[in-house]
C-alpha cells in the first residue's frame, strides 16, 4: 500500500518536477543560459578555471581549465596546434572547437570554445545548392579541375616533399584532432546531448579534465606499456652503435656514423639529418646518442624519471611529489631491469662534477678515508660480486657494467 501512497513514495511527475527545480538552480534555462553562467563564473574562477564569454547573437564561451593552463608553457605547445570543431553536443546545436597540442603522450587540450553554429539555415541551403550544381557539372569536371589547381597552388602546405624542413614530430595527419573528438563524443558525453552550454562546460571541467588527468597519471607511473614498447623497438635497432661512432661537435651538435652515411643530431631541438629524423621524429640515431651519452632529447618517448616527473607536474600541478619519487619506478622495457635502471639520468649536480673532472673517468680521490667508509665500499663490492654470479645478465649489459667499473681509477693510473 505504501508504494501507491504519493505522500510516502513520490510519483514520476513529482520526481520530474524536483529534477526541473534542481536543473533550473544549477544550469539555468536552455534558451538563455548566460545569466546563470555569469553567476557561476566566480565559482569557476575559484577552482582555477578561466571562463570568458561573449553574450550576443553570435555568442561564444571560452574555457581554460587548470590542466590546460599547465599545458600552455610546454615546448610542445609552441610547435604544433591541432584545431577541430564538432557540433550537436548540446540542445541548442552549438559548435565546440577544441584546441590541442601534440605532446609526447598524445594530444592534450589547450582550450575549448563553445560557440553559436557556424552557419544559419540559409547558408546550409546555399551550400546544398552549390553541391547539387557541382554534381550537375561533374560531366566535364571543370570545377574539379579548378579545385585541384587551387590545391596545387598551395602545394607547399600539404605535399610532404615541401614540408621536410618543418618540425612536425612525425605528425603529418590530423589523427590527434579526430581521436580527441571521438573521446569527447564517446567517452565524455556518451553519445548524448548536454542540456545547455553550462552543462557542457561542466562536462569539460569535470569528466574531460579527469579523463586527461588519469591518462597522464598512467604515463607518469609507467602504467602504459605503449611508450616503452615503442622505445624498446627503436633501441633494438640502435644497439649496434658504439661510442666510436659518435663525435661531439659542441653547441648541442653530435655527429654519428652509420655505414657509409653520417648524420648530424641537434640535441636541443631534437632533430637529426636522417630522412625520418629531419622533421623532428625520434629515430634510431637519436636513440643511440641517448643511450650512449645519457643525453635527454626533447622528442624522445617519456622513459626517463625526468619525463615522468614532468608528466606528473602537468597532471598534479603544485601537489606533484619531487623528482626522486619517480626514480624508483621500473621502466617496462622488455630486455632487462638492470638496463632500465641503468638508464636513469644523472642529476645536475653529478653532471657538473663529471664535467669538472679532468680525466674521462671518475677519479677516486687518494685522500685517506675512514675505516667505516672502506668497510662499506668492500661490502657493496661483495654484494655486486654476488649479484653478478647469480643474475641473468645479457652480453650487452655485461659489457656496460665492465665499462662502468673500468672508469674507477686511482690517481697513479
Residues at the interface with Zn ion (CB under 5 A): 272, 274, 277, 283, 285
Beta bridge mates, 248: 254
Q: Which helix (H) or strand (E) holds 169?
A: none
Minimum CB separation of residue 299 from Zn ion in Å reads 10
Which residue, 99 or 300, is less far from Zn ion as judged by CB? Answer: 300
List C-alpha distances in Å: 411 to 287, 299, 359, 367.
Answer: 34, 40, 10, 10
Minimum CB separation of residue 274 from Zn ion in Å reads 3
Closest CA to 219 of 106, 340, 318, 320: 106
Which residue, 50 or 278, is less far from Zn ion as judged by CB? Answer: 278
Which residue, 197 or 272, is less far from Zn ion as judged by CB? Answer: 272
What's the 3-state SS for 60-71?
Answer: EEEEECHHHHHH
What are the strands, taking DSSP E only, across 24-139? Answer: 50-54, 60-64, 81-87, 95-103, 106-115
Phi, psi of 403 (to 5 degrees): -60, -40
Minimum CB separation of residue 256 from Zn ion in Å reads 8
Length of the chain: 413
Minimum CB separation of residue 286 from Zn ion in Å reads 6
Which residue, 95 or 273, is less far from Zn ion as judged by CB? Answer: 273
Which residue, 241 or 326, is less far from Zn ion as judged by CB? Answer: 241
Closest CA to 34 of 61, 1, 15: 61
Minimum CB separation of residue 258 from Zn ion in Å reads 9
Cell readout for 86 is 564538432
Rounded to whole angstroms, the Cα distance separating 407 from 197 reads: 64
Which residue, 77 or 299, is less far from Zn ion as judged by CB? Answer: 299
Minimum CB separation of residue 271 from Zn ion in Å reads 8
Rounded to whole angstroms, the Cα distance separating 34 from 116 reads: 13
Radius of gyration of the chain (CA): 29
Minimum CB separation of residue 293 from Zn ion in Å reads 15
Which residue, 222 or 238, is less far from Zn ion as judged by CB? Answer: 238
DSSP 251-319: TTEEEEEETTEEEEEETTTTEESSTTTTTT---HHHHHHHHHH----TTS-S-SHHHHHHHHHHHHGGG
Which residue, 165 or 395, is less far from Zn ion as judged by CB? Answer: 165
Minimum CB separation of residue 175 from Zn ion in Å reads 22
Amino acid at each position: 500500500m505504501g508504494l501507491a501512497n504519493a505522500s510516502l513514495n513520490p510519483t514520476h511527475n513529482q520526481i520530474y518536477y524536483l529534477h526541473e527545480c534542481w536543473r533550473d538552480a544549477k544550469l539555468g534555462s536552455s534558451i538563455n543560459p548566460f545569466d546563470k553562467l555569469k553567476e557561476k563564473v566566480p565559482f569557476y574562477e575559484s577552482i582555477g578555471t578561466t571562463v570568458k564569454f561573449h553574450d550576443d547573437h553570435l555568442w561564444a564561451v571560452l574555457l581554460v581549465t587548470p590542466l590546460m593552463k599547465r599545458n600552455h608553457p610546454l615546448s610542445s605547445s609552441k610547435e604544433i596546434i591541432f584545431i577541430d570543431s564538432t557540433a550537436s553536443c548540446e540542445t541548442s546545436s552549438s559548435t565546440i572547437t577544441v584546441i590541442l597540442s601534440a605532446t609526447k603522450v598524445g594530444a592534450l587540450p589547450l582550450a575549448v570554445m563553445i560557440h553559436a553554429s557556424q552557419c544559419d539555415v540559409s547558408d546550409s541551403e546555399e551550400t546544398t545548392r552549390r553541391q547539387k550544381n557541382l554534381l550537375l557539372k561533374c560531366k566535364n569536371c571543370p570545377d574539379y579541375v579548378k579545385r585541384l589547381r587551387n590545391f596545387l597552388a598551395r602545394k607547399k602546405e600539404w605535399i610532404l616533399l615541401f614540408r621536410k624542413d618543418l618540425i612536425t614530430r612525425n605528425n603529418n595527419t590530423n589523427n590527434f584532432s579526430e581521436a580527441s573528438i571521438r573521446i569527447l563524443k564517446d567517452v565524455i558525453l556518451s553519445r548524448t546531448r548536454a542540456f545547455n552550454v553550462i552543462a557542457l562546460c561542466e562536462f569539460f571541467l569535470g569528466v574531460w579534465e579527469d579523463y586527461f588527468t588519469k591518462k597522464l597519471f598512467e604515463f607518469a607511473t609507467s602504467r602504459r606499456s605503449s611508450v616503452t614498447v615503442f622505445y624498446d623497438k627503436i633501441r633494438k635497432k640502435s644497439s649496434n652503435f658504439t661510442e666510436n661512432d659518435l663525435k661531439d661537435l659542441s653547441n648541442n651538435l653530435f655527429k654519428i656514423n652509420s655505414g657509409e652515411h653520417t648524420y648530424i643530431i641537434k640535441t636541443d631541438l631534437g632533430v637529426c639529418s636522417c630522412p625520418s629524423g629531419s622533421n623532428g621524429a625520434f629515430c634510431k640515431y637519436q636513440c643511440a646518442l641517448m643511450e650512449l651519452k645519457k643525453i635527454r632529447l626533447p622528442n624522445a618517448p617519456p622513459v626517463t624519471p625526468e619525463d615522468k616527473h614532468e608528466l606528473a607536474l602537468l597532471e598534479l600541478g603544485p601537489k606533484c611529489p619531487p623528482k626522486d619519487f619517480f626514480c624508483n619506478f621500473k621502466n617496462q622495457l622488455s630486455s632487462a631491469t638492470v638496463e632500465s635502471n641503468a638508464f636513469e639520468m644523472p642529476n645536475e649536480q653529478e653532471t657538473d662534477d663529471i664535467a669538472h673532472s679532468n680525466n674521462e673517468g671518475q677519479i677516486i680521490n687518494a685522500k685517506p678515508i675512514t675505516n667505516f667508509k672502506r668497510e662499506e665500499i668492500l661490502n657493496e663490492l661483495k654484494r655486486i660480486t654476488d649479484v653478478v654470479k647469480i643474475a641473468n645478465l645479457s652480453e650487452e649489459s655485461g659489457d656496460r657494467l665492465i665499462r662502468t667499473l673500468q672508469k674507477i681509477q686511482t690517481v697513479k693510473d
